[in-house]
Structure 1
Amino acid sequence: MKVVELICAPVRTGFYFDDHKAIKAGAEPDGFNYRGTPQTKGFSRVRQPGEGVSVMLRLANGALAHGDCAAVQYSGVDGRDELFLAADAMAVINRVVKPWVEGRNLTTFRELAQEADQLVDEATGRRLHTAIRYGLTQALLDAVAQAGQKTMVEVVAAEYGLTPVAEAIPILAQSGDERYLNAEKMIMKAVDALPHGLFNNVETKLGQRGEKLLAYAQWLKQRIEELKPSPNYQPTIHLDL
């Protein structure tokens, strides 16, 4: 089975891109927004809507495989790739990925993913943005699965010598800034790990001696006891600082 066409389109992601440097430097919350001047390259404001790219691979049999290129909230800092902007990413995908993948035989996911991960943009001399590699390999996995009339789980299990687990995988939920109200929602739905918390400011969220974080942790423990949907509910508490 061959890939006959790559199509990509800009999309919005589920959350937002935040300029971590600006927030740590004191950008003030303004409702859901932040007031202040961006300090990280690529940002036009301290908080801006997340951008992504939908990558679609049309196969010779007419099937369409799909992957989402998406990045993290705090892009461009602490060793992460630069801010992921859809227009820039689509230009790279069409220039580098499109000629590499169109007309290509679908061998194994593992082989294709390894090659995709090493693709280099000659304009920069660097490997592709992690978000592009993330979405591209999703689409390749979907394509290999569809070509072999298997699920993606079956493909990964067969190629990596794994045994599929027939039970739910524990998931960490993210509260955003509404760490109280959203934590209660998570508890009521018996989320496995919670709440992340988005603790990104010492003065307003942690406290100079950690007193605000400690108070939150104590409140969270109490609310788990009060709202837990079953006596054996014991979630993993994950506080992201």
Structure 2
Amino acid sequence: MQIKDVLLAPGNGAFFYDDQAAIRAGATQDGFIYVGVPTTPGFESIRIPASLLSIGLVLTDDTVVWGDMMNVQYSGAGGRDPLFDTNQISDLTSRVVTPRLLEIDASRYLDASANVLEPFEQNRLPLAIQYGVSQALLRAAAHLQRCTMAEVICAEFDLPLPTRRVPIYCQSGDAREINVDKMILKGVDVLPHGLINSRQKFGADGQTFVKFVNWVATRTREIGRPEYHPVLHFDVYGWIGQEIGLEPQSVADFICKVADTVPDFTLNIESPADFGSTQAQIENYAKIVSILDNRGSNARIVVDERCNTLEDIRLFAEAKATHLVQIKTPDVGSIADTARAVLLCKENKVGAYVGGSCTETDLSAQASVHISVATQADMMLAKPGMGVDEAFSIVGNEQNRLLAMLNRRRTQNENVG
């Protein structure tokens, strides 16, 4: 067997875990911290540093390949797994996962992942474990096959070697204006996220949000290159529903009104409302999508909350309850399921956005790039962290290096042919 030992190393995510329920309930910011009492189980304060656990697979040639296990920023919200517990994850990995890893053929990626990540005592493994272990196994397969992680995915899913560059989406965090300028100067494809996660940022009847959308469009024209024309993408964390109301017609009317103020841009609105359950989300988002489509709006709905697992993504895609799915990689679990999710979206003619969280790492971000390029997703998140420069560098450079290697491989194959 190719794996002879397993290493575990605690680590730090690139941002913080935040109690979304407490923030929605009105917790105020004092500098970088939130003031108030946490409400989501596991949180001792509203904002805590993101922790993670790295897993290293020691191969028979003494190469060590790594993957990183963590949860997303808003853990425990919207049907997601609870807050990351390093001790619990370490114990379960050592007792259950490690013995499985020592018995599998690591060169066969999908089979290896399925065997290692099968349920334990009739319960699925925590998604953080699935995410990190599947990254490490993907790197192991690539090392053993002497190819890129993207080529492993292409071979396993019978996909052609990709040629298209996947557009990159950056998130601003709270430093909106400065980071928007950075994104424009760097020519980011999709921007700026905006972190519209409170009533203060959304404003009465959404007026603060509308002003920000228009400022981003104006700023893009002012300092961007003449040919630069990004997609505008804003995550409003359900605040349209909270402030305007949960009637689909009202939500759609508001989104159309915003889109009409920036008619020259495609406008993505992520998480316009939270209807309380996956089924309610599907039913109401389908109505909103239908209204926007019938009006010929330049706005697109992006689903995040209540659409976490591969099965959730299938339900939304088949119901046409969104224009674009954020495939939030740590919430999907196995990174192989992220690949399946992209392909599922494509089958149903729904946009596939390989996202994730600011709490991730350089390793998980790089693995996500290979999945995104191999499956030719519609866009991918620049991650980890809330800074533009670092995340855009990590994801953008990994994509460029990968495309250069794939182009060389394609040329070699053509010469042999």
- Normalising by the smaller structure, the TM-score range is over 0.9
The Cα of 1:61 is off from its aligned counterpart by 1.5
Q: Give distance in 2, aligned partners of 1:77 and 1:164.
A: 37
Q: 1:190 — aligned with what?
A: 187
Counterpart Cα distance in 1 of 2:174 and 2:87: 29
Q: Which runs of 5+ in 1 are unaligned?
A: none
**Shift of the alpha carbon at 1:167?**
4.5
Q: Specify the SS of the correspondent of 1:119.
A: coil
CA distance in 2, matches of 1:197, 1:112: 39
Matched to 1:176, the amino acid is G
Q: Tell me the equivalent position of 2:15.
A: 15
1:152 paired residue number: 149
Secondary structure of 1:91's counterpart equals helix
Partner of 1:136: 133
Q: For 1:101 and 1:51, locate their aligned partners in 2 and report how far apart those are by CA, in whole Å.
A: 23
The answer on whether the counterparts of 1:51 and 1:70 sit within 8 Å (CA) in structure 2 is yes
Q: What per-residue deviation string (whole Å, max 9, x for no partner) do you get for residues 96-147 of structure 1?
A: 1111112432241111222334232x4xx52112121111000001111111
Q: Which amino acid aligns with 2:2?
A: K
Counterpart of 1:217 in structure 2 is: 213
User: Could you say if the C-alpha distance between residues 116 and 240 of structure 1 is closer, same or farther in structure 2, counting changes exceeding 3 Å?
Assistant: farther
Residue 182 of structure 1 aligns to a residue whose secondary structure is helix
What are the within-5 Å matches in structure 2 for residues 72-91 of structure 1? 72-91=72-91
Give the direction of change, closer, same or farther, for the CA distance of 1:107–1:119 in structure 2 (3 Å limit).
Answer: farther
Task: Give the alignment partner of residue 232 of structure 1, picking from 207, 213, 227.
Answer: 227
More strand by share: 1
Q: Matched residues in 1 for 2:86 and 2:184: separation?
A: 35
Runs of 5+ consecutive residues of structure 2 not aligned to the other structure: 237-417
Distance, in Å, in 1 between the alignment partners of 2:95 and 2:170 is 36
- Deviation, 1:54, is 0.8
Equivalent residues in 2 for 1:199-218, closer than 5 Å: 199-202=196-199, 204-218=200-214
- Cα shift at 1:73: 0.8
Provide the residue aligned with 2:265 in structure 1.
none
**More helix by proportion, 1 or 2?**
2
1:160 deviates by 0.7
In the TM superposition, what whole-angstrom CA distance separates every residue of 1:164-214 from its partner, at most 9, and x where no partner exists?
Answer: 323432122111111221111111111111111111112x10012000000
* TM-score (norm: length of structure 1): 0.93
SS in 2 for 1:209: helix
Note the alpha carbon deviations across 1:64-120, whole angstroms, 9 max, x for none.
111111221111011111111222211111121111112432241111222334232
Letter of the aligned partner of 2:24 in structure 1? K
Match of 1:164 among 161, 166, 170: 161
**CA distance in 2: counterparts of 1:14 and 1:155, whole angstroms:** 27
SS in 2 for 1:133: helix
Query: Residue 62 of structure 1 aligns with which residue?
Result: 62
**2:25 aligned with 1:25, yes or no?**
yes
CA–CA distance in 1 between the matches of 2:7 and 2:119?
18
Task: Report the count of equivalent residues.
Answer: 236
Query: Do the aligned partners of 1:9 and 1:90 also contact (CA within 8 Å) in 2?
Result: no
Q: 3-state SS of the aligned residue for 2:171?
A: coil
> Which letter maps to 1:210?
G
Matches within 5 A, 1:114-129: 114-120=114-120, 122=121, 125-129=122-126
Matched to 2:138, the amino acid is L
Instruction: Give the match for residue 177 of structure 2.
Output: 180
Q: Percent identity?
A: 39
- Supply the AA of the counterpart residue of 1:145: A
Letter in 2 for 1:97: V
Structure 2 Cα separation of the partners of residues 184 and 107 of structure 1:
44
State the TM-score, normalized to the length of structure 2: 0.55
Give the match for residue 40 of structure 1: 40
Q: Determine if contact 2:107/2:145 at 8 Å carries over to the other structure.
A: no
Other structure's SS at 2:173 match: coil
Q: Matched residues in 1 for 2:103 and 2:158: separation?
A: 29
For each residue in 1:48-68, what CA deviation from the matched residue of structure 2 results, as whole angstroms up to 9, or x when unmatched?
Answer: 111111110001111111111
